[in-house]
Structure formats: structure tokens, C-alpha cells
């Protein structure tokens, strides 16, 4: 009997030892990173410390500031590829002023806020209106496309520290799980290892297959998977929020939207937020959940109460009849008609 | 709740700690509560069909014993209730879509009922598990349980609830009814099983899944890209599904339960029939015992046997999803197995040197046949499926060939741990253990080796886990 309990105790002790040993093995990476990982030398304090303490980042790109100053646009358009539905030249003809689109693919509200703050406001220009195009819940989701692989897009827009963005992110990352995640990250430095090893893992097969032409191969591959090559339904689903729990009141104060609006008020700039119509189905706006409808109603009320203008393409005539190419992108031939309809319906704000 | 979430880690630690402080009966009550919490975590209403199924089966089984003359009627009640539930949630829209398509083809007026049905995840798994109970009671293989607690524990036991293995009442119920003791050795081994499961899911399946999703999201992949994507899917679906089974088995061991082994290195199969002895074993044995054998099984003539096989596989395909591509996939495997069975009697029983020598070719051939089947499984759109089947390698450009080769190599890199594991588990380990006492505790050296391997897996998991978190594929079934 004693032998049995001794055996049990031994096995239980082994469980603890096994767990401890398994947890310890990845620590062996740390000295390896410290010696060889290239990111370790380049890392500087993060501009969003709520996400990570340090980051090997790309430098801030100041070129758009100079361009805005040179053009002195009356209208600035901000957004991702959704904002590409505006035909710049046609809008300039209609509005009688220069239009400056600052479009960055694969971005979200965090990036758009940084564009507004660090480019538009920093340039000192006084546009008639700044138009921001978005989908569904983008405006209250600062984390959208703020993680890898899109994170690098924010590097070009951010200064050394971005307090408003950091506050919004921090409000999202104060939960117990995020603290566990951060602790694991601090202990194992796994993200640093990923940034070091992942490109190697992706590059090696390309090198095996194409030798010196591996860069060209990767470029061709990326082109093959571009949005205009996707099946229509797949591209449209990429931005779907179906099934997500939606709570505008909870999320708005954990986003950059209040800072966005405050900055616009402070500098007396008219902000127009445009919710684009997602890919129509049989010539009609796609169905949406009651939760999303409620969310949009609350967003509308909030924007208006804070001095901004809200436009929901879903409810404007002619929008669902426009041809779409892939995903939620309208076709090239529809850009001029869209811009004309948009201007006609929003003329009061754009003249 | 999903296994690969911190919520589940906390849930597991809390439930496991509380569980072992309770007496036997309270443990079962606690398991039911834990199962309900686990399953109803996101959508509490998912519990309604689960409880309905358990209650109907409880009543039906008892009535079968109490009223033997009406035994058949109560079996029918259980079958209709469980399959009706499954049919409503899973096949209603499929049925209506096909009626609408047929009506349209015949120029008939058919107003399609607008009913948005959300499929409760894992419904196919627990209904089949529950059915095994009533069918076995009907056949007199097991006794009906008088305790609703036992049956509810059987149906709501959370590790296999969402994606199997589909447990049999004859296997799991005795474990529920017996007093359980914490087995530290089993628990220690379960750590490796769980870790290997997480590695397969988060590192292999989810990373390879990115390749698969990319290939199957574009309108016109070339021949090479398509088949690299299908090859990647063969890796993804095995890593993903077997990961769930491994985690479920490992977690169950921490609660003192042993679940059925659901996979036995299916890509080492030497023929289509062998594949089905190794792939999703709990489902294929379910169909064998409850469909194929009642149809007459192998005791009939060759033609009838082939028919039985094909019908069984057709139903198995339909079980996977309400879409014609799954039916086609089932038909494909049914034909393969029927053909291999037809050839089987003419192959010699005793393995000759020749048969040993051609084993690698048999394994490769089976893998290629199975991989072709995965195209039918993965592509739910019949127009795209037809387009893919008519792709020709001769139409490819050199750039397309290079892209296909790149994706193939990338997927193959992620498959390396699976190959190593096959080599370890199916070849090295049996030789290592040969001649040793089966119950002898593991040597310190082997334990140290496994621990080190576990540590390496954990390190790789931290670094190479996919940035794209995907649901387990079999959740949709």
C-alpha cells in the first residue's frame, strides 16, 4: 500500500517536473535572440506601449505633409481601398477644388486617425471637409488591422508616441487574458522570434523553387492573391461582422473616435464619415443583423451629436444598382457615377 | 467554448481542480454542469436540442426494456427525434434549396420559406453518440440506464462533445458509473497528447489552412496551384481533426476517462479500406455497426455488398454536410472501397517480400486517391469544382508552375512534424517497446526525451503558431 502511494506521489511529482521542463525549454531562445536576432538591435520604445514595450519599426513617412501643403486641397479623402470608389478628378470638377486622397490599403480606424492627426492637422491646411470611408464597425475598433501582418502600415504614420491611440488600445488590453498574453510574451519574447524566423520560413521555399528569382516569385504570388483575383463572395466576406457581438456604447469609448472628433472640433474641420455599401445581393443592399442596425443607429446619433456628418450609402438611392467588381469594391466604370451621386447627395457639405 | 482559447485553459484548470475534490455522484453532476457551460458558452440555446436528445433517449431506452412488445416503436421514436433534430438544423435549407432548384427547372412556382437556421455545433456528433445508446439497448447489447444522471453525463461529457470522437455507450457509460481515481501516470502522458494536439492545430493546421484558404479563394488558380492547395488541405484536415481528438482524449484522461482513439496514422494506409480503418475511426465504425452490417454487410453477394458499401459511404458523406459535394465525396470513397474489396480476394493472404516491397507505393497511391477526394470535400461550389476538374497541367504558365511548387514546398515543411510523428509512433516506438514488459513504467531516459520534445513543441508553438486563428474544421459538422 505504501509502495502504491509512493508511486503515485512520484508520478505527481513527475507531472510538475515535466510541466516545468516543458515551460523552461523555450527560454533557451532568449540568449539566441539576444545574440543574433536583428530586431533586438533595432527595437525602440513602442509608440503603442499598451501593445508592446518595444518594437523594431519602420520610420515615420513625412512626405504626405509636404504634398498636402503643396496642393492645399479643399477635400481630403481618408480610408483603405473602400475610399477608392471616389474618382478624384471628377470630384475636383464637381466641387471646384483640389482633392487629396490619402488611401492606405489594409488599414483601419487607428491608421485613419493617425493620418488625420499626423498629416492633415500637422500640415496646417484648412480643407472644406475630410471624408473618411469605413465599413461596419471599423470606427470603434482600433485593433482592426493593428496586429501583424498589417501592423507595419501604422509605423509610417506614427510618431514616437501616440497617446490617444495608446489609450484606446490600452482600454482594450486591460483584460486578464491580455495580461496573461503580455506576461507570456515578456517571458518568452516569442513575437521577436516570430519576426526573425517567419520571413526565413517563407523565403526558404521560394529560394528552393526559384533560386535568384525568389523575390519575383513572391511578387507574382502576391499578385495572384490580390483582391481583384478573389471570388466575389470571399472578398465580400473578408470584412463581414456577422456573428460578432456589437455594443456601440461600450466600444466607442475604447476607440480613437472620440479623439478623432475632438481634434476636428479643435481645428474646426468638417468630418464626414461614410459607411460604404457592402456588396449588394441581386441589386439590393445585403441583409444585416438587427444588432448591426442598432449599432449603426447609435453611431449615427453619436457622430451628429459630436459635430460630424454621417452618411450611410446603404440608404442612398442608386448605390445598390452600381456594379461591383470584387468584394466590396465597386467596379472602375462605376467610380465616376458613384462620385457624381455622392456629390449630388452631399453637395451641401462639399461646396 | 473552443479548446484553443485562454477561456478554455481557465475552464479546464478550475473544473479539473474542483472535480477531484468531489465524491463520485457529485463528480457526474459537476461534469453535466461543466458540459452545459462548455457547450452553451456562446449560444445557451444550443443546450435545448442537446437536453431534448438526452431526454428522449433516456425515456425510449427505459420503455424498450419495460415494454418489449413496443420496443421497435420506441427505437423509432429515438431515431426520428434524433435524426429529425439533425435533419431540421442541418438539412432543412439544403432540402428547400434543392426543391426550389427543381421547381425552377420545371418552371413551377415555389416560394422558398425564409428561415435562417443556425446549426448548433457538434450536433452530428452528439446525436450519433446518443443514438448508439438507444440502438445498443434495442439490440440488447447494453442495459437501459435508470439514472438520468448517467445518461446526461454520457451525452454532455464535454471533451468529445463538439467534434468527437463519437463515443459508444458501451465504452463510456461503464466509466461514468465506476468510481474514478486520478491516474498521475495517465495524466502525465496526457500532457504530451494535449500539447501535440495544440501543436497540430495552431502550428500545422492553421498555417497550412492559410495556404488552403488562399488557393480556394481565388477565381482561377492554375493546375499546380490548385493541387498544391488540395495537398495542403490533406495536411490541414488531418492535423486539425486529429488535433481535436488528441486534445479531447488528453483532457478526458485528466478527468479519469479513456476515449476511443480516433486516428491511426491514416496517411500510412495501404488501400482505401485500410484508410477508413484509420481515419475518423469512431464514425466509420459507427456506420459499419449501425448502417453497413444491418444492411447485410459482407454476408451478401458481391453486388449487394458493393451496394451496401456505397450506400453507407453516401450516408457518411451526407453526415459531413448538407451539400452535394459531400455526397459526391462519400460516393467516391464508397466506389473506391467497393473496388478495393472486389480486388482484395485475389491478393494473397500471406504478405510476401513483394508485398512488403510495394508497401510504399501502396501508401503513396492511397494518399493520392484520398487527396483527390479532399478536393471534392473542400470545394462546396459545384461550378468551381467542375472548373477545377477540367484544369490541365499543359495550360499552365511557368510562373503558375513555380507558384504551385512554392505552395507545395511550404505546405510540405509544415507536414514534417506529422511525418516525424508517424515514424516515431508507428515505426520506432513499437520496435523500442518490443520485448519489454507492457506495463513497465517508462524509463527515465524516454521520459526525459519526451519532455524535451514537449518543450521543443511548446517553443515552436509560441513562435510558429498561426496569426490566423481558425475554428476546427469539423465544428461545422
CB contact under 8 A, A217 and B217: no
B405 touches chain A (CB under 8 A): yes
Tens-digit pLDDT profile for residues B316-372: 999 988 888 999 999 999 999 999 988 876 555 566 777 778 888 999 999 999 999
Q: Which residues of B are catalytic?
A: 320
Q: Are B159 and B259 in contact (CB under 8 A)?
A: yes
Please give the Cα distance from B269 to B137 (Å, whole number): 34
Strands, sheet with A99-103, edge to edge from the N-terminal-most edge strand: A99-103, A75-79, A129-134, A271-275, A309-312
Interface test with B, best of A196, A213, A225 (most B CBs within 10 A): A225
The helix (H) or strand (E) run that includes residue A7 is helix A2-24
Q: What is the mean pLDDT of residues B220-242?
A: 94
Which of B184, B214, B410 has the CB atom closest to A225's CB atom? B214
> DSSP state, A28?
G
Partners of A210 on chain B (C-beta within 8 Å) are 402, 406
Residue found by looking up cell 490619402 in the block: A102
- Those of residues 43-72 in A touching chain B at CB distance below 8 A are none
pLDDT of residue A77: 97
Q: DSSP readout, A268-336?
A: T--EEEEEPPPPPBTTBPPP--HHHHHHHHHHHHHHHHTT-EEEEGGGSTTSTTS-EEETTEEPGGGHH
CB contact under 8 A, B464 and A201: yes
A333 touches chain B (CB under 8 A): no
* Angle in degrees, 0-180, between the axes of helices B324-343 and B382-389, rounded to the nearest 10: 40
**The complex's ipTM?**
0.78
Least confident window among B128-132, B137-141, B221-225, B442-446: B442-446
Q: Are B288 and B276 in contact (CB under 8 A)?
A: no
Q: Could you tell me the three cell numbers for B430?
A: 513499437
E strands, A82-229, are 99-103, 129-134
State chain A's maximal CA–CA distance in angstroms: 94
A23 touches chain B (CB under 8 A): yes
Q: Which residues are CB-neighbours of A290 under 8 A, at least 6 positions away? A: none
Which of A8, A22, A221 has the CB atom closest to B403's CB atom? A221
**To the nearest whole angstrom, how far is the Cα of B114 from the nearest Cα of chain A?**
13
Tens-digit pLDDT profile for residues A201-236: 888 888 888 888 888 888 888 778 766 677 765 544
pLDDT of residue B220: 83
Q: What angle do CA A317, A128, A156 make, to 5 degrees?
A: 95
Does B37 score more than 80 pLDDT?
yes
Tens-digit pLDDT profile for residues A110-150: 999 999 999 999 999 999 999 999 998 999 999 988 877 78
B31 or A286: which leads in pLDDT: B31
CB contact under 8 A, A22 and B188: no
Q: Are A207 and B412 in contact (CB under 8 A)?
A: no
pLDDT of residue A7: 57
Task: Single out the residue of B462, B200, B465 nearest to residue A25, CA to CA.
Answer: B462
3-state SS, residue A100: strand
* Angle in degrees, 0-180, between the axes of helices B206-215 and B398-422, rounded to the nearest 10: 150
Q: Distance of CA B305 to CAs B290, B295, B328, Å? A: 15, 9, 19
Q: What average pLDDT does the structure give for chain A?
A: 86
Least confident window among A33-47, A81-95, B417-431: A33-47
Tens-digit pLDDT profile for residues A293-303: 899 999 999 99
| Nearest residue of chain A to residue B454 (CA atoms) | A22
CB contact under 8 A, B185 and A149: no
Does B250 score more than 90 pLDDT?
yes
Please give the Cα distance from A326 to B19 (Å, whole number): 53
Q: Which residues are CB-neighbours of A78 under 8 A, at least 6 positions away? A: A102, A103, A112, A115, A116, A120, A130, A131, A132, A133
B188 touches chain A (CB under 8 A): yes
Three-state secondary structure readout of chain B: CCCCCHHHHHHHHHHHHHHCCCCHHHHHHHHHHHHHHHHCCCCHHHHHHHHHHHHHHHHHHHHHHHCHHHHHHHHHHHHHHHHHHHHHHHHHHHHHHHHHHHHHHCCCCCCCCCCCCCCCCCHHHHHHHHHHHHHHHHCCCCCCCCCHHHHHHHHHCCCCCCCCCCCCHHHHHHHHHCCCCCCHHHHHHHHHHHHHHHHHHHHHHHHHHHHHHHHCCECCCCHHHHHHHHHHHHHHHHHHHHHHHHHHHHHHHHCCCCCCCCCCCHHHCCCHHHHHHHCCHHHHHHHHHHHHCCCCCCCCCHHHHHHHHHHHHHHHHHHHCCCHHHHHHHHHHHHHHHHHHHHHHHCCCCCCHHHHHCHHHHHHHHHHHHHHHHHHHHCCCHHHHHHHHCCCHHHCCHHHHHHHHHHHHHHHHHHHHHHHHHHHHHHHHHHHHCCCCCCCCCCHHHHHHHHHHHHHHHHHHHHHCCCCCCCCHHHHC
**To the nearest whole angstrom, how far is the Cα of A115 from the nearest Cα of chain B?**
26
> DSSP state, A170?
H
Interface test with B, best of A5, A19, A25, A200 (most B CBs within 10 A): A25
pLDDT of residue B473: 66
Which of B188, B221, B384 has the CB atom closest to A18's CB atom? B188
Count of CB pairs separated by less than 8 Å, A with B:
111
pLDDT of residue A239: 46
**How confident is residue B469, by pLDDT bands cut at 50, 70 and 90?**
low
State chain B's maximal CA–CA distance in angstroms: 74
pLDDT of residue A14: 82
| Nearest residue of chain A to residue B444 (CA atoms) | A14
CB contact under 8 A, B399 and A205: no
Task: Single out the residue of B470, B8, B10 nearest to residue B241, CA to CA.
Answer: B470
CB atoms within 10 A of CB A153: 20
Tens-digit pLDDT profile for residues B129-176: 999 999 999 999 999 999 999 999 999 999 998 887 999 999 999 999
pLDDT of residue B429: 80
CB contact under 8 A, B458 and A14: no
- Those of residues 132-191 in A touching chain B at CB distance below 8 A are 147-149, 177, 180-181, 184, 188, 190
Partners of A22 on chain B (C-beta within 8 Å) are 191, 195, 451, 454-455, 458
**How confident is residue B439, by pLDDT bands cut at 50, 70 and 90?**
very low
CB contact under 8 A, B459 and A197: no
Amino acid at each position: 500500500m505504501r509502495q502504491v502511494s509512493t508511486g503515485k506521489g512520484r508520478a505527481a511529482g513527475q507531472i510538475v517536473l515535466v510541466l516545468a521542463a516543458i515551460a523552461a525549454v523555450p527560454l533557451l531562445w532568449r540568449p539566441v535572440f539576444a545574440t543574433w536576432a536583428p530586431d533586438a538591435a533595432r527595437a525602440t520604445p513602442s509608440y503603442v506601449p499598451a501593445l508592446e514595450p518595444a518594437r523594431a519599426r519602420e520610420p515615420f513617412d513625412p512626405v504626405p505633409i509636404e504634398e498636402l501643403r503643396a496642393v492645399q486641397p479643399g477635400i481630403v479623402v481618408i480610408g483603405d481601398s473602400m475610399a477608392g470608389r471616389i474618382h478624384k478628378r471628377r470630384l475636383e470638377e464637381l466641387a471646384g477644388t483640389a482633392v487629396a486622397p490619402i488611401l492606405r490599403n489594409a488599414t483601419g480606424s487607428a491608421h485613419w486617425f493617425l493620418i488625420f492627426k499626423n498629416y492633415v492637422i500637422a500640415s496646417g491646411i484648412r480643407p472644406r471637409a475630410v471624408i473618411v470611408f469605413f465599413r461596419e464597425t471599423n470606427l470603434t475598433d482600433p485593433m482592426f488591422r493593428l496586429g501583424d501582418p498589417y501592423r507595419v502600415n501604422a509605423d509610417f504614420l506614427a510618431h514616437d508616441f501616440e497617446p490617444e491611440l495608446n489609450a484606446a488600445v490600452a482600454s482594450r488590453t486591460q483584460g486578464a487574458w491580455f495580461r496573461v498574453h503580455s506576461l507570456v510574451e515578456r517571458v518568452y519574447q516569442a513575437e521577436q522570434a516570430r519576426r526573425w524566423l517567419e520571413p526565413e520560413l517563407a523565403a526558404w521555399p521560394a529560394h528552393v523553387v526559384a533560386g535568384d528569382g525568389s523575390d519575383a516569385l513572391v511578387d507574382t504570388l502576391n499578385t495572384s492573391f490580390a483582391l481583384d483575383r478573389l471570388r466575389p463572395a470571399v472578398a465580400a466576406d473578408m470584412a463581414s461582422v456577422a456573428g460578432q457581438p456589437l455594443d456601440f456604447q461600450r466600444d466607442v469609448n475604447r476607440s480613437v473616435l472620440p479623439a478623432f472628433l475632438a481634434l476636428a472640433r479643435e481645428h474646426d474641420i468638417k468630418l464626414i464619415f461614410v459607411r460604404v455599401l457592402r456588396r449588394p445581393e441581386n441589386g439590393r443592399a445585403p441583409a444585416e443583423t438587427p444588432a448591426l442596425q442598432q449599432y449603426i443607429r447609435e453611431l449615427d446619433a453619436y457622430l451628429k451629436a459630436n459635430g460630424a456628418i454621417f452618411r450611410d450609402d446603404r440608404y442612398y438611392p442608386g448605390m445598390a444598382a452600381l456594379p461591383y467588381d470584387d468584394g466590396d469594391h465597386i467596379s472602375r466604370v462605376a467610380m465616376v457615377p458613384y462620385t457624381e451621386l455622392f456629390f449630388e447627395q452631399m453637395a451641401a457639405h462639399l461646396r | 467554448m473552443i479548446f484553443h482559447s485562454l477561456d478554455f485553459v481557465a475552464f479546464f484548470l478550475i473544473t479539473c481542480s474542483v472535480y477531484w475534490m468531489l465524491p463520485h455522484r457529485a463528480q457526474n453532476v459537476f461534469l453535466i454542469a461543466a458540459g452545459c457551460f462548455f457547450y452553451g458558452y456562446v449560444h445557451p440555446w444550443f443546450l435545448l436540442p442537446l437536453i431534448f436528445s438526452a431526454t428522449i433517449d433516456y425515456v425510449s431506452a427505459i420503455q424498450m426494456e419495460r415494454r418489449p412488445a413496443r420496443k421497435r416503436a420506441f427505437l423509432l421514436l429515438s431515431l426520428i427525434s434524433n435524426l429529425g433534430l439533425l435533419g431540421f438544423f442541418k438539412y432543412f435549407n439544403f432540402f428547400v434549396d434543392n426543391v426550389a432548384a427543381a421547381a425552377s427547372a420545371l418552371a413551377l412556382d415555389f416560394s422558398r420559406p425564409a428561415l435562417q437556421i443556425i446549426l448548433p455545433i457538434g450536433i452530428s456528433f452528439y446525436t450519433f453518440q446518443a443514438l448508439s445508446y438507444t440502438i445498443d439497448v434495442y439490440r440488447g447489447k447494453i442495459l437501459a440506464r435508470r439514472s438520468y444522471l448517467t445518461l446526461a453525463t454520457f451525452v454532455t461529457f464535454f471533451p468529445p462533445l463538439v467534434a468527437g470522437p463519437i463515443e459508444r455507450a458501451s465504452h463510456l457509460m461503464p466509466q461514468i458509473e465506476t468510481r474514478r481515481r486520478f491516474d498521475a501516470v495517465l495524466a502525465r502522458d496526457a500532457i504530451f497528447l494535449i500539447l501535440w494536439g495544440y501543436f497540430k492545430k495552431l502550428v500545422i493546421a492553421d498555417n497550412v489552412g492559410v495556404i488552403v484558404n488562399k488557393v480556394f479563394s481565388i477565381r482561377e488558380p492554375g493546375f499546380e496551384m490548385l493541387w498544391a492547395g488540395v495537398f495542403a488541405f490533406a495536411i490541414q484536415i488531418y492535423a486539425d481533426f486529429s488535433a481535436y481528438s488528441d486534445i479531447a482524449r488528453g483532457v478526458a484522461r485528466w478527468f479519469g476517462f479513456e476515449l476511443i482513439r480516433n486516428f491511426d496514422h491514416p496517411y500510412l494506409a495501404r488501400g482505401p479500406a485500410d484508410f477508413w480503418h484509420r481515419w475518423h475511426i469512431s464514425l466509420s465504425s459507427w456506420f459499419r455497426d449501425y448502417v453497413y452490417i444491418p444492411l447485410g454487410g459482407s454476408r451478401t453477394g458481391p453486388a449487394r455488398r458493393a451496394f451496401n458499401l456505397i450506400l453507407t459511404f453516401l450516408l457518411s458523406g451526407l453526415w459531413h454536410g448538407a451539400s452535394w459535394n459531400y455526397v459526391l465525396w462519400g460516393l467516391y470513397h464508397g466506389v473506391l472501397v467497393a473496388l478495393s474489396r472486389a480486388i482484395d480476394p485475389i491478393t494473397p493472404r500471406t504478405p510476401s517480400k513483394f508485398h512488403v516491397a510495394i508497401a510504399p507505393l501502396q501508401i503513396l497511391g492511397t494518399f493520392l486517391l484520398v487527396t483527390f477526394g479532399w478536393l471534392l470535400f473542400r470545394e462546396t461550389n459545384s461550378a468551381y469544382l467542375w472548373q477545377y476538374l477540367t484544369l490541365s497541367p499543359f495550360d499552365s504558365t511557368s510562373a503558375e508552375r513555380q507558384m504551385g511548387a512554392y505552395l507545395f514546398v511550404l505546405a510540405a515543411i509544415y507536414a514534417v512534424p506529422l511525418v516525424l510523428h508517424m515514424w516515431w509512433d508507428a515505426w520506432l516506438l513499437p520496435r523500442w517497446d518490443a520485448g519489454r514488459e507492457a506495463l513497465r513504467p517508462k524509463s527515465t531516459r524516454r521520459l526525459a526525451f519526451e519532455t524535451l520534445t514537449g518543450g521543443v513543441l511548446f517553443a515552436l508553438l509560441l513562435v510558429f503558431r498561426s496569426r490566423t486563428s481558425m475554428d476546427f474544421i469539423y465544428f461545422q459538422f
